[in-house]
Amino acid sequence: MAGRRVNVNVGVLGHIDSGKTALARALSTTASTAAFDKQPQSRERGITLDLGFSCFCVPLPERLRSALSAPHAASEAGPDPGEPQLQVTLVDCPGHASLIRTIIGGAQIIDLMLLVIDVTKGMQTQSAECLVIGQIACQKLVVVLNKVDLLAEGKRKAAIDKMTKKMQKTLENTKFRGAPIIPVAAKPGGPEAPETEAPQGISELIELLTSQISIPTRDPLGPFLMSVDHCFSIKGQGTVMTGTILSGSIGLGDSVEIPALKVVKKVKSMQMFHMPVTSAMQGDRLGICVTQFDPKLLERGLVCAPESLHIIHAALISVEKIPYFRGPLQTKAKFHITVGHETVMGRLMFFSPALDSFDHEPVLDTFDFSREYLFQEQYLCADLVPEAADSGQTNEKADQATGGHCPRQQWALVEFEKPVTCPRLCLVIGSRLDADIHTNTCRLAFHGVLLHGLEDKNYAESVLPRLRVYKLKHKHGLVERVIDDYNVIGRSLFKKETNIQLFVGLKVHLSTGELGIIDSAFGQSGKFKIHIPGGLSPESKKILMPTLKKRSRASQGEVAKQEESTDRPEPVQHVTLSLSFKRYVFDTHKRMVQSPSVLQ
């Protein structure tokens, strides 16, 4: 076991000024080149502006050693060559609302989340957003009640107990119900206090973290992919990219591609927190030195095995609405779409399974182009009624299908305003980042998984016609009069300017039970002739009798006049017509299709 080191990434998230960076500093024994607000802008403003990375090591707990296998070996050296080590990499995320893009990027590379709460203030707006991000991006949570030194000594225990109960209640309806909560004082006396003041509760926190951590599944196979968060040059050596390996593994001398720059570079050297290594794998925090390029061209982004990633212009994603987001998710609406470290604007079109497939088991790792899907004006959820389907007419079947019963899986087509580079099955988060940061509202709208990327710039012509998303159309009209036992005239189904020839051959239902077929246009006012193959029933003839009698008294030469006349007597009661059909959204021919399910 000599020299093996298992790396686990722990995110430090919370509201601005909750003491996240102070906590990371108190926990850490080794800092990276980007840790503890080293940026001049961060020091000038006194807040974290970017992701910071640092780490500490403890002996690998006995309970984890049996789970340890060769692929988890992170490096060749450790503090004690005879002891396997658990390396905890801390990802210090900003807390300011305007830096939510960076927070989301940081959350996607963590295995466990530390939610830092200012014990004197409790849950705040960004604490809540971080909790939402945590529910999406990771499986385990530890709540840290920081700044307990600011509580009056005599009332400290009572105040901590009160805040602990509040946090337990907050977590009750989340996946983190029952998560441990621990009080600390990362920087007693505040930022300006002398360094002689020792942090409180840090050893207990390390012990708690060690007990909560489990060894994540790490796979060295598959194409190498790394999320880069910092980039800088070292004179005489090359350019260093630091980040977290998302998949695969890498060794000295390997070639890597920087898709954003369209260049391939050779790995000259690698380090993990200042320690030289010859190989690294999924989950490891790594610095890669490659041949020189301008680091300003790649502040953050992705590095991958050559030709393993592609630029995409649109994507098909699975979608799940974040319940705290107020308001509907509308088709055609624009959202900020975050994939990895990239955030771009994207326009969405939502769709669901066909009505008879609402209860089908969700499929989260692929998209099936052979299936049919139902277009939705908005994401369907129990508290929202579907919008009107077409021309002010309600999509009645969708209403019935979603009355307290929503599909188990929904999807969206996302069309990006700018192309993005991202792997398949990556996490997607949709937000409204233009919302006022001073209002107490959740800006995170939905999350999902990227199932299929559309690489062709002309995807609207090359790919979308394969996407079988249809709209259910329902039109209603009236039988105006009868020609004979097998033919009637209909009206009020089409507008005067409608090309009725497009609808010829489609089946219509009469409210009296007969099934008819649209035969031809009738005159110029939007009326049409319907042929009824099985003929009108005796009951239907009785309802339509006034018209039949009038026609029987008419001479042969008067028929044409009568057919165009609008002042004829109406039937005893109205006989309605209903026309239902599907129109595929991306069908270039705009064909109307009727299937047995539509005709029911």
Tokens 């369907």 belong to which residue? 380
Residues listed for the chain: 600
Position 390 scores a pLDDT of 40
Q: Taking CA 241 as the corner, what is the angle to CA 236 and CA 243, rounded to the nearest 5 degrees?
A: 155
What is the largest distance, in Å, between two alpha-carbon atoms of the chain?
A: 113
DSSP 200: B
Q: Which residue has the higher pLDDT, 585 or 574?
A: 585
Helical H segments across 492-584, by residue range: 538-543, 545-553, 559-564
For residues 338 and 327, is the Cβ–Cβ distance under 8 A?
Answer: no
pLDDT level of residue 248 (50, 70, 90 thresholds): very high
pLDDT level of residue 98 (50, 70, 90 thresholds): low
Position 1 scores a pLDDT of 34
Position 299 scores a pLDDT of 77
**Mean of pLDDT values over 410-433:** 93
For 474, phi then psi, to 5°, come to -130, 120
pLDDT level of residue 38 (50, 70, 90 thresholds): very low
Whose CA is closest to 24, among 156, 257, 246, 206?
206
d(CA 493, CA 479): 10
Which of 178-192, 396-410, 469-483 shows the lowest mean pLDDT across its residues? 396-410
Position 384 scores a pLDDT of 55
- pLDDT tens, position by position, 119-172: 999 999 889 988 998 999 889 999 999 999 999 999 999 999 999 999 999 999
Hey, is 236 helix, strand or coil?
coil
Question: Would you state the structure tokens that stand for residue 419, as one six-digit string?
Answer: 């192309």
Position 355 scores a pLDDT of 85
Q: Crossing angle, helix 100-107 and helix 125-137, to 10 degrees?
A: 30
DSSP string, 172-190: TTSTTTT--EEE-BSSTT-
- pLDDT tens, position by position, 187-204: 998 777 777 688 999 999
**Mean of pLDDT values over 434-448:** 83
